[in-house]
Amino acid sequence: MRESNVAILGAPLDLGAGRRGVDMGPSALRLAGLNPKLNSLGYTVDDLGNVAVEQQESTPSLVENARYLPQIAATCERLAAGVRNAMDKGKFPLVLGGDHSVAIGTVSGVSEALRSRSEKLGLLWIDAHADMNTPESSPSGNVHGMPLACCVGKGPKELTGIFGYSPKVDGRNVAIIGLRDVDIRERPNVRESRVTPFTMRDIDELGLLKVIREAIGIVTNGTAGFHLSFDMDFVDPMEAPGVGTPVRGGVTYREAHLAMESICDCNGMVSMELVEVNPVLDEANRTALLAVELIMSAMGKRIL
């Protein structure tokens, strides 16, 4: 890794999801031993705790096609400030979700830190879903289906305009890996955004390693590095049952580790987040345990 100091930020947000429980994701990951395991790899770990998040029970949803929009925007602004501050201090931000809408805050913070140095960010989005809905296309109004669209400048200004500019990343420097569930009205957003999608069919036909290498080439082309946004539903639910929106047909246990090891090998990752661990739906915390294993592979753990 470029930085030996890791700053952990929890984002226990579940306002963007349709099911409760992902707000406990950061606690589940810490309980699975994340911090001492990072220490064992030689990292200095600064756990900054959790950003403040409003609870569904005490706050109304006033925008039905982008549910809890003001509350999510406020959380993402706080998270963005924390991420930027960590990077300005020379630390590697590791964000623990929460639902995937937290990526709006993480990517905003990383993008702003690099922008202040006149540098560009790439974005590697690993997910069963494209997350490129807008309020106009979303069938549910759940913001966790919109974060990638917001990162490339499509969506509510409360989310796209953090730090006063948009987009946070050029679509030509974005690659999505693992797609297998994309809404019909969302598909034009993917095609028009200039991002590069790799579906599960691409992985089946080309092999995961080739897909990862092609994606890394896209997200590092002319950038100072890339942010990795990893949704645990990339992994098949047989291996990771405790996720917010499980979809059959994901990658295997070993393929998931290969993806993370290959990402580490390229030495281009400048920040990372892992999202959508839902302990309510899990079995004896095994999804969180796998998530920590995958983080460790991305951060440099090897078999030998």
Averaged pLDDT score across all residues of the chain? 96
Active site residue 144: yes
Among all chains, which residue has been given the structure tokens 């984002």? 11
Question: Cβ distance 71 to 54 under 8 Å?
Answer: yes
Q: Which of 77, 255, 273, 276 is catalytic?
A: 276
Domains of the chain and any CATH numbers: 5-298 (3.40.800.10)
Catalytic residue among 14, 23, 77, 127: 127
Cis peptide before 98 (omega within 30 of 0): yes
Confidence check: pLDDT of 37 > 80:
yes
Rounded distance between C-alpha atoms, residue 150 and residue 156, angstroms:
7
The SS3 call for residue 259 is helix
Instruction: Catalytic residue, from 14, 23, 112, 131: name it.
Output: 131
User: What tokens does 125 get?
Assistant: 């989005």
Whether residue 1 is predicted with pLDDT greater than 60 in this model: the reply is no
Helix crossing, 253-266 with 208-219: angle to 10°?
30
Per-residue pLDDT reduced to its tens digit, 176-202:
999 999 999 999 999 999 999 999 999
Its pTM stands at 0.97
Told to judge if 88 belongs to the known catalytic residues of this protein, a careful annotator would answer no
255 is catalytic: no
pLDDT of 56 higher than 90:
no
DSSP E strands: which ranges in the chain? Answer: 5-11, 44-50, 92-97, 122-126, 174-179, 196-199, 226-231, 269-275
109: pLDDT strictly greater than 70: yes
User: Catalytic annotation on 257?
Assistant: no
Residue length of the chain = 304
Identify whether the C-beta of residue 93 lies closer than 8 Å to the C-beta of residue 45: no
Verify whether residue 227 is a known catalytic residue: no
- Distance of alpha carbon 90 from its chain centroid, rounded? 21
Q: What is the DSSP string of 113-169?
A: HHHTTT---EEEEE-SS-----TTT-SS--GGGSHHHHHTT-S-HHHHTGGG-S-SS
- Say how far apart CA 151 and CA 101 lie, in whole Å: 10
> Which of the residues 231, 255, 273, 282 is marked catalytic?
231
pLDDT tens sequence across 252-287 = 999 999 999 999 999 999 999 999 999 999 999 999
Given the residues 233, 255, 273, 282, the one annotated as active site: 233
Find the catalytic residue in 100, 112, 227, 236. Answer: 100
